[in-house]
Amino acid sequence: MTQNPMHSCPQFAITLKAMGDPLRMQILNVLGESSFGVLELSQIFTMKQSGMSHHLKTLANANLVTTSREGNSIFYRRSLENTFNVIQHIFASIDEALLDDDVIKNLNIIEQEREINSQVFFAKHISDFKQQQDLIAKYSSYQSLCEEMMLSINAQTGQALEIGPGQGEFLIALSKQYKQVLALDISKALLEVAKTSCANKNLTNIEFKLEDIQSIKNPFADLIVMNMVLHHIVRPQAFMLQAANLLNDRGHLMITDLCQHDQQWAKENCGDVWLGFAQPQLESWAQKAGLLLTKTSFVAMRNGFQVQCLLFSKI
């Protein structure tokens, strides 16, 4: 019988030993929802960088975390490719465990700092945001991808929500397909741009709200759209969960975003928090939110980026 060396007892023992530490379990919990550098993790867990580096090396040797280089920094996130099926069940149990109060406090500080930096960027670059965004992916380059995915749902009535409508281009297509459309943004300046874009097109079924998704409590949407939004979100997994909670039964979440890449300049020039996403990462987060991936589509940009459009259905 052919055996996979990654399934060997010694390797399995290494994996279990790496997980068998309360601190490393909490690290895996934190890295299950976002990615962090070693300095950030040292701050979250209030320990020296050398000690945190030791724990991260142990987790990496056990194939429990993966790394990606962003500029001069290495960021860690929990692995989705561990070959032992039982590990995914252990991850699920770790996610349900409570973090220490100090860890939660420090984690919130890091995330608030990221959120503030993002908001400062958009406030500073509102006048040239479209120009910067077009450096990565012009809407016209992936417009047909989005519209074809939306039309595949075959919905002629109902309510749609677009979070972060940008220039308002996709709102036009939504208004033709859905009875009511809500455009939601936390940036007054960006929302005004979308509103102005739609003002002269006699689109009477679109409502514009300056509001956070967290302020909406009850399910109401048949379709929720996020076009090039998620890579600006500090906690995308939590954001997807919030969106899923606003879907009606058999509702859909449509995410158009960049595939994972290594072009660090996108953070500096476009305010990106994430350098795109691997499809398995988005699918894993969606499953935890009670969503099932039903359709995928991709298009390559001339500048080396790739755009993915994923359609999720509420289970």
Q: What is the mean pLDDT of residues 53-60?
A: 94
Mean pLDDT throughout 26-47? 92
pLDDT band per the 50, 70, 90 thresholds, residue 82: low
Starting at the earlier edge strand, list the strands of the sheet with 73-78. 36-37, 73-78, 65-70
Structural domains in the chain (count): 2
Q: What is the pLDDT of residue 5?
A: 47
- To which residue do tokens 């002269």 refer? 200
The residues, any chain, with a CB within 8 Å of residue 241's CB and separated by 6 or more, are 285, 288, 289
63 shares its domain with 184: no
State pLDDT tens for residues 249-289.
999 999 999 998 888 877 777 778 888 999 998 998 999 89
Lowest mean per-residue pLDDT among 38-42, 143-147, 154-158: 154-158
Please name the residues in contact with 246: beta carbons below 8 A apart, sequence gap of 6 or more: 161, 213, 216, 218, 219, 220, 221, 224
Range of the domain at 229: 129-314
How much of the chain, in percent, has pLDDT values that exceed 90? 50
Do residues 153 and 281 share a domain?
yes
Q: What is the pLDDT of residue 304?
A: 80
With cut-offs at 50, 70 and 90, classify the pLDDT of residue 197: confident
Query: The pTM is what?
Result: 0.78
How large is the average pLDDT for residues 107-121? 80
Q: Are residues 168 and 299 in the same domain?
A: yes
The pLDDT, as a whole number, for residue 155 is 65
Are residue 205 and residue 256 in the same domain, yes or no? yes
Question: Do residues 291 and 157 share a domain?
Answer: yes
- We report the CATH number of the domain holding residue 26 as 1.10.10.10
